[in-house]
Structure 1
Amino acid sequence: MRDQRPETTRSQPRNAVVIGGGYAGVMAANRLTQGENVTVTLINPRPTFVERIRLHQLVGGSHSATHDLRDVLAERVHLVVDTATRIDAATRSIELAGGGSLAYDYLIYAVGSHSAASDVPGAEHTYPIGTLEEAQRLQAALTELPDHAPVTVVGGGLTGIETAAELAESGRQVRLLTGGVLAATLHERGRRSAAQRLAALGVELLDGVPSRVRAVEPDAVLLAAGRRLDSALTIWTAGFSVPALARDSGLSTDALGRLRTDESWVSLDDERIVATGDAAAPSDLPARMSCQAAVQVGPQAAETVLALIAGKQPDRLSLAFVSQCVSLGRRDGLLQLTHLNDTARRTYLAGRPGAAIKELICSGIIWQLKLEARFPGRVTMRLTDPARRRRLAAAGASVPPVAGAPAARVTAEEAR
């Protein structure tokens, strides 16, 4: 049940803690500094901010994909470099891996997402790319590999495409296995353009059911159709999941482990806990895991906390999409325009203009984080997907909690 204890004094100092220093968490922490009498603390396992949308560039050697967290955080945000291991809602405290605990009055759960564990036999021979540490491990492995050695990328979503293109452009011999449709979230016209660019870079593309991976060996991949393909190094981009912190803490989660909330991002269990980003499931209708969603919903989670502190009713979430971007090496890219509900339009922009816009967006997000740090609330994006409202109306009563359900995986297409 939610904590129904009333606020005593609106001017009373409050301690707000954010778990997670990704796009949503940093935006939330910076927006919280609008509260004049609110102490803001951010817990993150490392002192760096990771540009996950550039991890394929880190692997290819064209970008570090990291920034000092202090460069994107407001001065008022206290940074704790540690890992949260358990949330105790009853005592309003967070247990830390480094020892001890941290108390909170309000908590924003923004732990993000990571690569999903594969159940394919031999998965231990693969190299995921969903986190900084995974990307660094992959980069190190590539430096030990001759340029002519065959590299296999498994997963035909945007992450797989970007990784394959980046490596092929650098001179690697790359094969891309989609296991189904290449770039399923793009319009057919954009998909065709991406395939043409991959072919021009020399990427061997295998798609459809016959390209599904049945097993992985240290030097090969075995396909469902029975083929054995030589692979000196196999990169796995076929899925993402979320940390188990909420589920392990006894909070209500969906099948993937995302914290279940109402349409204001408030936990169904406790109104002092607010979730945002990849690890949140508002009304059991979570958004696509993406940076585009994170920079919208991070500030909204903070505004929910500030409204609760002030004794006001929080606003319902406002979230929509306008495009999908994919880099195809350093000289090519594709901007796919979308409807507000994230379905692809016919219109896309490819080639060098697409690459320029992709780079502008990546750089612009860092600028947006820094702007929020200096001037919290100055720039606010409010997009609304009317289709979501229709789905909510059709759903009627909320779905019963599924806390403790077995972990599920989300496809790479969903995770972009």
Structure 2
Amino acid sequence: MTAADDGRIEQLLRELAPQVLGPLVRRYGGFDTCEDAVQEALIAAATQWPVDGLPDNPRSWLITVASRRRIEVLRNEAARQRREESVAAMTPADPSPAAGVDDTLTLLMLCCHPSLTPPSQIALTLRAVGGLTTPEIARAFLVPEATIGQRISRAKAKIKASGAAFRLPPSEELSDRLAAVLHVLYLIFNEGYTASSGESLHRVELSAEAIRLTRQLYDRLPTEGEVAGLLALMQLTDARRPARTSPDGALIPLPEQDRGLWDANAVAEGTELITTTLRTAPVGPYQLQAAIAAVHDQAAAADDTDWRQILVLYELLETLAPGPMVTLNRIVAVAMVHGPQAGLDQLDSIDPVLRDHHRTSAVRAHLLDLAGEKEAAREAYRQAARLTESVPEQRYLESRASS
């Protein structure tokens, strides 16, 4: 098989992972051991499929292999002899989960069990539902990879100890898990829209899955303002994707994009949704981010962008949900309203967690460029290129350093 074939297999395995884990947990119970069994099945597939070719039904193949591994574990647990006998009586070669049943949302809610801390909920869900690897999750959290590995291990152990059932929680418990669920979907979408590493800027399967799950949440909770806000944010952001790269995959920054390539239907749907939500629900962080995205999308050209309105929205967002990335984006808005030097002055006091982040160096480079400090801008672009693991971002930043 070619490298492209290997890439397609990797993408397929990522998409199938939650579709395999859900039926296993539903049938056998034991989230932690089922997750381990699925990981072993994925490894087996990654090894065998490039050599033997794809099976006729890849999902069933994975379920079969994972089921056999799950049963093998049960057989080795003497304390579960009775359960082993009942499970062994099943036909592992064809678990046949109920047709048309989508376990992904149920799996997401299980991963956001209240016995877990919010960081553990997010890390586990990104792994089990989003299909992200531990290094990718670590980059999303801006923390060491070992920290994420520990969070995932502890989370699986706590779910096992809690005896949580594999079903959607009752309505009265949904709001308690909603904040973690929304943050998980937000991170999955962001990883899909701007991949943290690799040759491609986008990982469309992740952003599409985040949108799909958020739509499911919105259908179930249509009066929750933050669910609507997140869905609108995703629509308004993803609408720009067709214009973000050139035919050869090179990154095109927002001011230089051909806005005629933007998805007009997604812009209209997202704008209508956030406009209605801001009138009818208490304002939250996702709604404010969606409003900012709407201001960008409604500008016919980059020079028409209402940066003063964007700055006001970022100031509200920083008050409501402060964070280093919010501050960094607000500084960009400050520079666009009050001049690049005003933004550079504020960059000097940025949160230490972002001082060595490539986005901070990229913002500094852009503002230095606007201020006419070309040589300092080139060095900042080079620094940003060294810090990012995204190949399209590296190439773009290096091209700016060379211009």
Which TM class, normalised by the smaller chain length?
Answer: under 0.3
Structure with the greater alpha carbon radius of gyration: 2
Q: Which has the higher strand share?
A: 1
User: Structure with the greater relative contact order (CA < 8 A, sep ≥ 6): 1 or 2?
Assistant: 1
Question: TM-score scaled to structure 1, two decimals?
Answer: 0.23
